[in-house]
């Protein structure tokens, strides 16, 4: 008995001593706070989420979300302009701390990076030449369709074609950027392009590219996107999740959606799963 009692008295002291001797672990959250700068990877050819304005300054909803997050952290925001294909490499190489870049939360990507909870929802849509007679999605079956490489809609389009258009004579042409896709549609080099509904609405309204119009919505379902960061940064991911939760609850995300897109922001909840 006495031996057991002695051990029970000593155990807390031993545990406390071992914890005191353990080295402190600084994670990405500490790194950002200590550096005084939050580096956000943003795709800057994806209006209204990310683009450069008339003064060649980064702008868009993703840019403003980065600035709001930085302000709440008490640090400065730095926008790291990336292409779709550069988002994950920018995180792994240490060029950025977080990718706020309209990134679909796919399980395949999650093998490499960590995802936050959703902060935005898109639909995939076709962009057409103004004189196109296409009115339904399946009419794209035998046409040359352009899409930006490294995007979810590239992989979704290919998967849909493989599953539903087995006798298709059409082609999928990939481009390095969204702008390249829009230009190809405008110039008639492809019969259609695929992008998100918000991007297409913005491009058509801006009249930046001539002779284009919005086409049918893809039957792929919703494109749900989150922040990305280094996979094992659990403390940082927890902070980012809490930020998104609070920014959604306090109306910040709705305000930014209204500013850059207009209307009511899509519901981020999933019945019975996320609320």
Given pLDDT bands bounded at 50, 70 and 90, which one contains residue 9? very low
Q: What is the mean pLDDT of the segment spanning 233-261?
A: 96
DSSP E strands in 68-211: the ranges are 76-82, 98-104, 113-129, 144-148, 171-175, 192-196
Least-confidence region, from 60-69, 188-197, 199-208, 239-248: 199-208
CATH of 123-222, one of 3.40.630.30, 3.40.50.10680, 3.40.190.10, 3.40.50.10490: 3.40.190.10
The CB-side HSE value for 172 (13 A sphere, CA atoms) comes to 18
Say which residues have a Cβ less than 8 Å from residue 164's Cβ, sequence separation at least 6: 138
Q: Quick one: CA torsion of 234, 236, 241, 246, rounded to 10 degrees?
A: 150
> Residue 271's pLDDT is what?
67
> Residue 274's pLDDT is what?
60
Q: Where are the domains of the chain?
A: 28-121+223-260, 123-222
Task: Quote the DSSP letter at residue 95.
Answer: S
Whether the domain at 28-121+223-260 and the domain at 123-222 fall into the same CATH topology:
yes
Q: What's the CA gap between 139 and 161, in Å, rounded?
A: 12
> Residue 266's pLDDT is what?
87
Beta-strand relationship, 51-52 and 58-59: antiparallel
pLDDT at 18 over 60: no
> Residue 8's pLDDT is what?
44
Contact (Cβ atoms closer than 8 angstroms) between residue 218 and residue 126: yes
Which residues lie across from 214 on neighbouring strands? 127
3-state class (DSSP) for residue 217: strand
Q: What is the mean pLDDT of the segment spanning 234-259?
A: 96
The answer to whether the peptide bond before residue 209 is cis (omega within 30 degrees of 0) is no
Contact (Cβ atoms closer than 8 angstroms) between residue 168 and residue 142: yes
Q: 28-121+223-260, which class in CATH?
A: alpha beta
pLDDT at 95 over 90: yes
- 63 vs 26, residue with greater confidence: 63
Mean pLDDT computed over every residue of the chain: 89
Q: What is the mean pLDDT of the segment spanning 1-12?
A: 45
Beta-strand relationship, 212-230 and 113-129: antiparallel
State pTM to two decimals: 0.77
Q: What is the mean pLDDT of the segment spanning 246-251?
A: 96
> Residue 272's pLDDT is what?
66
């Amino acid at each position: 008995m006495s031996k057991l009692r002695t051990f029970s008295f000593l155990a807390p002291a031993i545990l406390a001593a071992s914890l005191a001797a353990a080295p402190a672990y600084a994670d990405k959250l500490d790194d950002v706070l200590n550096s005084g700068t939050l580096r956000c990877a943003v795709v800057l050819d994806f209006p209204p989420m990310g683009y450069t304005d008339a003064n060649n300054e980064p702008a868009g909803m993703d840019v403003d979300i980065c600035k709001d997050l930085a302000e709440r952290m008490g640090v400065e925001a730095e926008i790291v302009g990336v292409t779709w294909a550069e988002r994950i490499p920018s995180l792994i190489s240490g060029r950025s701390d977080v990718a706020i870049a309209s990134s679909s939360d796919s399980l395949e990507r999650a093998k490499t990076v960590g995802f936050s909870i959703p902060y935005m929802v898109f639909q995939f849509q076709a962009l057409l030449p103004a004189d196109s007679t296409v009115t339904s999605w399946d009419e794209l079956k035998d046409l040359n369709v352009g899409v930006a490489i490294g995007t979810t809609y590239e992989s979704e389009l290919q998967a849909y074609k493989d599953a539903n258009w087995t006798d298709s004579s059409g082609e999928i042409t990939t481009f390095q950027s969204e702008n390249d896709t829009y230009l190809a549609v405008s110039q008639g080099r492809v019969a259609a392009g695929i992008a998100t509904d918000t991007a297409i609405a913005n491009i058509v309204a801006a009249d930046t590219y001539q002779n284009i119009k919005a086409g049918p919505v893809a039957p792929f379902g919703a494109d749900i996107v989150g922040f990305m960061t280094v996979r094992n940064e659990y403390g940082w991911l927890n902070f980012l999740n809490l930020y998104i939760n609070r920014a959604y609850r306090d109306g910040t995300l709705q305000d930014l959606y209204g500013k850059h897109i207009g209307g009511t922001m899509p519901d981020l909840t999933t019945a019975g799963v996320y609320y």
